[in-house]
């Protein structure tokens, strides 16, 4: 496990790393630390920090990370002591997206294709929907790449703070897939149809300054200031009128994301169609072999 340097809570996490711990402080204040294999969860003074912790894999999503992230999201949503949530990534990345070796090796359909529909509906969708429907503000602190499902995770949050050197990337098309994890809804809601189509079809990096200009993120800060700026914003929210925030989320969800469940189902269905294509097989093979793919539209 690598240190990410995420402010005061990381020091407490280091002290408690040997086991789950709940450390009483003065009065009602406490700090809870839970160190799992791929996700760390810390609660301090009403702020829950969820850290993706597979730094050697740039926080790519495998089965373990997905299960632990879902548990963390569900726990903070249900914990009345949590008033705001910060999601971040350890090391050099927020998240590089799905671990292709993992998702293509988890299970096959009766036809022999990777069962991406099951991965999405059972592992990814509860996380994305849980963040959107959590009656608490959620802040994403994006460092390095936020790619594929990692980008979907960031955009499912209420506010996104990005480091200057970070970038967002809808990389699905580069391996013959389509956007999933809610991105086919979150992206056009933030940037409009023209830019959403460009991102989904061209699969190009959107650097943080451009992401701010387009409306994908809320703030861009110097790399060295990301941890402080993101924590300060999250703590401001934790100290604020959380019932008002919950009401605002309900309004925005109703206006912009009222079809979230239907869109997630649509994404999963189309993604399974793509999983059966030779273009997807070629895209994955090319990615793993570090070469350019040769797509044939089949």
Strands 138-142 and 47-52: unpaired
From the CB of residue 194, how many other CB atoms can be counted at a distance below 10 Å?
Answer: 9
Q: Residue 121 burial by CB count (10 A; 0-12/13-18/19+): exposed, middle or buried?
A: middle
| Cα distances (angstroms) measured from residue 62 to each of 75, 195, 212, 276, 287 | 20, 29, 29, 21, 17
Phi, psi of 107 (to 5 degrees): -175, 155
Banded model confidence at residue 19, pLDDT cuts 50, 70, 90: very low
What rounded mean pLDDT belongs to the chain?
A: 90
Summarize pLDDT for 83-100 with one digit per residue, the tens: 999 999 999 999 999 998
Which tokens belong to 117?
């529909």
Q: Are 181 and 159 in contact (CB under 8 A)?
A: no
Q: Which domains does the chain have, with CATH numbers?
A: 7-224+241-289 (3.90.226.10)
293: pLDDT strictly greater than 90: yes
Residue 200 exposed, middle or buried by CB count within 10 Å (0-12, 13-18, 19+): middle
User: How many angstroms from the chain centroid is the CA of residue 113?
Assistant: 26
Contact 214, 206 (CB under 8 A): yes
Predicted local distance difference test score (pLDDT) of residue 103: 76
Residue 9 has pLDDT above 50, yes or no: no
pTM of the predicted structure, to 2 decimals: 0.88
Which pLDDT tens digit goes with each residue over 98-145? 998 887 667 888 998 999 999 999 999 999 999 999 999 999 999 999
- Residue in the structure block whose two tokens are 């705001």: 84
Check residue 67 and give its pLDDT.
95
Q: Would you state the pLDDT for residue 4?
A: 39
Which segments within the chain are labelled E, that is strand? 21-24, 30-35, 39-44, 47-52, 84-89, 138-142, 145-147, 159-163, 167-169, 206-207, 219-221
Residue 2, pLDDT > 50, answer no
């Amino acid at each position: 496990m690598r240190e990410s340097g995420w402010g005061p809570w990381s020091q407490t996490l280091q002290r408690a790393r040997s086991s789950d711990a709940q450390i009483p402080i003065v009065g009602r204040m406490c700090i809870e630390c839970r160190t799992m294999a791929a996700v760390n969860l810390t609660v301090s003074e009403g702020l829950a920090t969820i850290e993706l912790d597979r730094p050697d894999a740039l926080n790519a999503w495998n089965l373990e990370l997905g299960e632990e992230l879902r548990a963390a999201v569900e726990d903070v949503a249900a914990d009345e002591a949590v008033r705001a949530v910060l999601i971040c990534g350890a090391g050099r990345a927020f998240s590089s997206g799905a671990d292709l070796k993992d998702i293509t090796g988890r299970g096959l359909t009766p036809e022999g294709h990777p069962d991406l529909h099951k991965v999405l509906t059972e592992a990814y969708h509860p996380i994305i929907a849980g963040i959107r429907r959590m009656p608490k503000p959620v802040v994403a602190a994006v460092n390095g790449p936020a790619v594929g499902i990692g980008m979907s995770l960031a955009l499912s949050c209420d506010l996104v703070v990005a480091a200057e050197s970070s970038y967002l990337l809808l990389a699905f098309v580069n391996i013959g897939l389509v956007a999933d994890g809610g991105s086919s809804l979150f992206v056009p809601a933030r940037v409009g149809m023209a830019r959403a189509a460009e991102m989904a079809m061209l699969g190009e990096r959107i650097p943080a300054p451009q992401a701010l200009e387009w409306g994908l993120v809320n703030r861009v800060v110097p790399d060295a200031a990301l941890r402080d700026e993101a924590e300060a914003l999250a703590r401001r929210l934790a100290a604020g009128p959380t019932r008002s925030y919950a009401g605002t989320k309900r309004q925005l969800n109703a206006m912009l994301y009222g079809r979230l469940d239907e869109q997630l189902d649509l994404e999963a269905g189309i993604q399974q169609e793509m999983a059966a294509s030779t273009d997807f097989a070629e895209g994955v093979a090319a990615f793993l072999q570090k070469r350019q793919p040769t797509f044939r539209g089949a």
